[in-house]
Copies of this chain bind each other. A is one copy, B any other.
C-alpha cells in the first residue's frame, strides 16, 4: 500500500475508534436471533441477457412465476417455518415452473439431454448438501436436501447420486420430462454459437428465529458438454449460508463464480473486513466480476436483503415481515399483489 493510502486508512481507523464502530477491525459475529418475529426472503430466477424487448406477456408470466414462489415462501416464513424448509420449498416450486432453467424447463446439453445441479446450505451449522449432473431426479433440490440430512457427504454426482435417490425413494422421471419447446429452440440456436442460456433459480431466507439458509438449482448452460458442472453445487461459489454473515445464491457465468468463490468471498468480506451485505455483494459483482457475468441475492442476520447483478437483468423478488413484496426483471423493483 502506498503512503497516502496508508494515512487515509489510519485516519479511518482512528475515526472508527473515536466513534466506537470499529470499522477497521475484524467484524463481530452476526446479530443475535431476533425475537420480534422478523423474517426476510429473496429469490431469483436467473441473470443474463434478458432482452429489453421481451414480449410483455412473457415478462408478465415471469413476474407471476416469481410472485407465486415469493408468496409461498413469505407465507411459510410468517407461519414460523425454518429458513431451511422455506428455501427448499421455494426452489422446488421454481423447479416445477417450466419458465425457469431448473427442473422442468432445464436447458439442453450438447447431446440433447438435461443434467441438473443443486445445492442447499443451513447457516446454523454450515451443514450442506449438493448434487451434480443428475438426469432423472424430478427435484434436484430435494435430493440435495437428502444428501445433507441422510449422508455424511456434501456432494454426490451422476449415476451415484441417482442410486442414492432410489435408496431414498425419491421420484425419478424420464430425462425427456424436463423438455420444453422453448429450451429446445434455444438449444437449436445455441448450437450455432456459444451457449448463452445460463439461468438458475435460487432462494435465501432469514426465519423468525434469525437463522439463514440458501438453496440454488439449475440446468446449467445450454449446449454444455463433457459432464460440465457449474457453480451451483460448489459450496462457496454459487451457494453459501452462514448465520454469522449471510445466506447467498448466485446466477451467471458459473466458471467465473467458481474462480472467485463469490458467495464465500462475500461472507468473508462481512466477517473479516466488517463490510455490510450490500457493500460486500457490490464489491464482488461490480469490482471483482466482469460486466455481464451475472448476479447474486443475499439476506443477512438482520433481515437485510441484497439483489445485485451486472447483467442486463435478473429475474428476482424480495419480501419481508415489514410488508415488502416486490419483483423485478431489469433495473426497477415493483410492488406486486400477492397471488
Q: A-side interface residues toward B, CB under 8 Å? A: 1, 3, 6, 9-10, 13-14, 16-17, 20, 22, 24-26, 28, 126-128, 132-133, 151-161, 163-164, 194, 224-230, 234-237, 240, 254-255, 258-261, 264-265, 268-269, 272-273
Given contacts A236-B236, A261-B235, A272-B272, contact A227 B156 (CB under 8 A): yes
Residues of B within 8 A of A234 (CB): 155, 234-236
Q: What is the chain B residue whose CB lies nearest that of A158?
A: B158
Q: Is the CB of A156 within 8 A of B13?
A: no
Q: Is the CB of B24 within 8 A of A6?
A: no
Residues of B within 8 A of A132 (CB): 132, 157, 229
- Picked from B6, B13, B259, the residue with its CB within 8 Å of the CB of A126 is B259
Query: Min CB distance, A112 to chain B, in Å?
Result: 14
In Å, the complex CA distance between A235 and B157 comes to: 16
In Å, the complex CA distance between A143 and B230 comes to: 17
Given contacts A22-B6, A158-B159, A235-B259, contact A228 B153 (CB under 8 A): yes
Q: Which of A224, A229, A240 has the most CB of B within 10 A?
A: A229
- 24 A-B residue pairings within 8 Å (CB atoms): A6-B25, A9-B24, A9-B26, A10-B13, A10-B16, A24-B24, A26-B273, A132-B157, A152-B194, A153-B255, A154-B254, A154-B255, A155-B228, A155-B258, A157-B158, A158-B158, A158-B227, A159-B227, A160-B227, A236-B261, A240-B261, A268-B268, A268-B272, A273-B273
- Picked from B10, B17, B235, B268, the residue with its CB within 8 Å of the CB of A237 is B235
Query: Min CB distance, A335 to chain B, in Å?
Result: 36
Query: How many copies are assembled?
Result: 2
Residues of B within 8 A of A151 (CB): 226, 228
In the A-B complex, the 10 residue pairs with the closest CB atoms: A160-B227, A10-B17, A268-B268, A164-B226, A9-B25, A272-B272, A236-B261, A13-B13, A158-B158, A160-B226
What does DSSP make chain A's interface, helix, strand, loop or mixed? mixed
Q: Is the CB of A13 within 8 A of B6?
A: no
- Picked from B163, B226, B260, the residue with its CB within 8 Å of the CB of A226 is B163
In Å, the complex CA distance between A133 and B159 comes to: 10
Q: Is the CB of A155 within 8 A of B28?
A: no
Q: Is the CB of B28 within 8 A of A229?
A: no
Query: Min CB distance, A126 to chain B, in Å?
Result: 4
- Picked from B1, B229, B235, B265, the residue with its CB within 8 Å of the CB of A25 is B1
Q: What is the chain B residue whose CB lies nearest that of A166?
A: B226
Q: What is the chain B residue whose CB lies nearest that of A11?
A: B17
Residues of B within 8 A of A9 (CB): 22, 24-26
Q: Is the CB of B17 within 8 A of A1?
A: no
Given contacts A236-B237, A261-B264, contact A1 B22 (CB under 8 A): yes
Given contacts A261-B235, A269-B272, A273-B272, contact A226 B17 (CB under 8 A): no
In Å, the complex CA distance between A158 and B132 comes to: 10
